[in-house]
Amino acid sequence: MSAAHHHSLALLHGLFLLLFFFCGGADGSEVPPPQNVTTKTLNTNYTLSWDWAPGAAGTHAVTFTTQYVPRYQLRSKKKKTPNWITACNQTSHRSCDLTRFNLHYLGIFVLRVQATVDGQHSEWAQKEFCPDKEAALGPPSNVTLAPAGSDLDVVLIDPLTSNNTSMREHVPDLYYHVQYWERQADGQASPHKQLRINTTMVTLPGLKAWTWYCVRVQSRCDFYSKISDFTVPHCMQTEGSIPWWNIFLYFLGSLLFFFLIVLGTIYALFRCCKTVKDVLNPSDQMPSHLKKYLCSSPGSDIPRLLTPDSESELLCEGVTICPPPAVPEIHIPPAEELAAPPSGLEPNSSVRHSRQDSSSSGDSGVYSSGGGSSGSSALKQLSAVRHNHMGSNDSFKGLLDPERVNLREMTAHLKSQPEVADEGVVDVCV
């Protein structure tokens, strides 16, 4: 009985342990590890990516942790615990960028990623990674074409690392595969020519002058059979000797161009000058009825309004109306009175008026050369003038003698007499 009892207890204990381990394994398997862990690489740019089932976490959020370690630390017997470096901690992305850690291009690393859901962790999903073997090789970073006569020069720049250095430092056996072909005008495909070069500059031989060619290049390394993608095709036209008819056409075109420019400039200047002339001196003449009132005279083109002495510029403060000036007259007595001197006067005493007195008084006098014959002739003329004007202007009889002689007519008679050098006087009786 004791032995049977002991055996039953052992079975129960084993069943209990089996149930314990079974339940523990079930709890650990609740969070599945990431799947399809791969690396996406180009030159020295490395990214670890993985897949995760969308419904595996239920309604809880899932995060991922990525770590890496050099593989030699895992195989080292002296160092029991490897130093795992965390690259991405508790991130929700399905990838982790390892470029910033500058993994050695010739090294071998172990990468692992773990999922975490509601505080529970999945198992680590691991992957070995060797950049020298697995990293993809990129195409040349730049391709430049330059014409060299009827040929083309192709200038390349090596693929660059994440630190902008040449990939040739990590891949010494790097070379380039060049393809070039003639571009057809109708768009049809033409046969491609191949060229392998180890340098970054090459001249494509055997090309036609004045023909379009397209070039594309890819990088290659035969050690791990790395082949990059081709670059975008670059096209350029070759050059050559210019035909004489092209030169002639260029000359005619340039000559015509400059001729048109000069002709247009001259025409523009002519139109400007004509416009200015028409504005300053219009060709339309002023109507005659306007000229009559606006111009100073009928035959003048100068407007009266623009003359300095225009009536519009004469300003008067007051206006005084004066009678017409009286015409000076000389009264000559009859011949009978001239023959007999008046009482109280001597026979030879007559009033003499000198030239100075007559000029200062403003009245007109009659002068002779001083001889008696000249004086008597002048008196006779004055007497004749007096008889011709007996019936005119009797308004001033009270002031002077009724017999008057117009000064203007007497002056005309006097001017008709010959000039006498002697300054004589004429006796005039008042």
For residue 136, the tally of other CB atoms under 10 A from its CB is 15
Residues 97 and 149 in one domain: no
| Torsion angle of the four alpha carbons 353, 359, 363, 368, in this order, in degrees rounded to the nearest 10 | 50
Of 190, 206, 237, which marks where a domain is finished?
237
Of 211, 237, 263, which marks where a domain is finished?
237
Of 103, 134, 165, which marks where a domain is finished?
134
Q: Cβ(69)–Cβ(110) under 8 Å?
A: yes
Number of alpha carbons in the 13 Å side-chain half-sphere of residue 257: 6
Residues 117 and 28 in one domain: yes
Residues 130 and 30 in one domain: yes
Residues 129 and 154 in one domain: no
Give CA 358 to chain center in angstroms.
87
Residues 182 and 89 in one domain: no
- Residue 406: enclosing H or E segment and its boundaries? strand 405-406
Sequential pLDDT tens for the chain (430 residues): 444 444 454 454 444 434 433 444 434 447 899 999 999 999 999 999 999 887 777 778 899 999 999 999 888 777 678 899 999 999 999 999 999 999 999 999 999 999 999 889 999 999 999 999 999 999 999 999 999 988 999 999 999 999 999 999 999 999 999 999 999 888 787 899 999 999 999 999 889 998 999 999 999 999 999 999 999 999 999 998 877 888 899 999 999 999 999 999 999 999 999 888 888 877 766 677 766 666 655 555 555 555 555 455 555 666 677 777 776 666 666 655 555 555 544 444 444 444 444 444 444 444 434 444 444 554 455 455 455 545 444 444 444 444 444 555 555 555 555 554 444 444 444 4
Residues 36 and 111 in one domain: yes
Number of domains forming the structure of the chain: 3
Residue ranges making up the domain that contains 196: 142-237
How is residue 352 annotated by DSSP?
A: B
CA distance 100 to 104: 12
Q: Cβ(46)–Cβ(131) under 8 Å?
A: yes
CA distance 60 to 57: 6
Which of these, 376, 373, 393, 377, lies nearest to 331 by C-alpha position?
393
Answer whether residue 7 is part of any domain: no
Amino acid at 187: G
Residues 126 and 37 in one domain: yes
- List beta partners, residue 143: 156
Residues 122 and 181 in one domain: no
How is residue 160 annotated by DSSP?
A: B
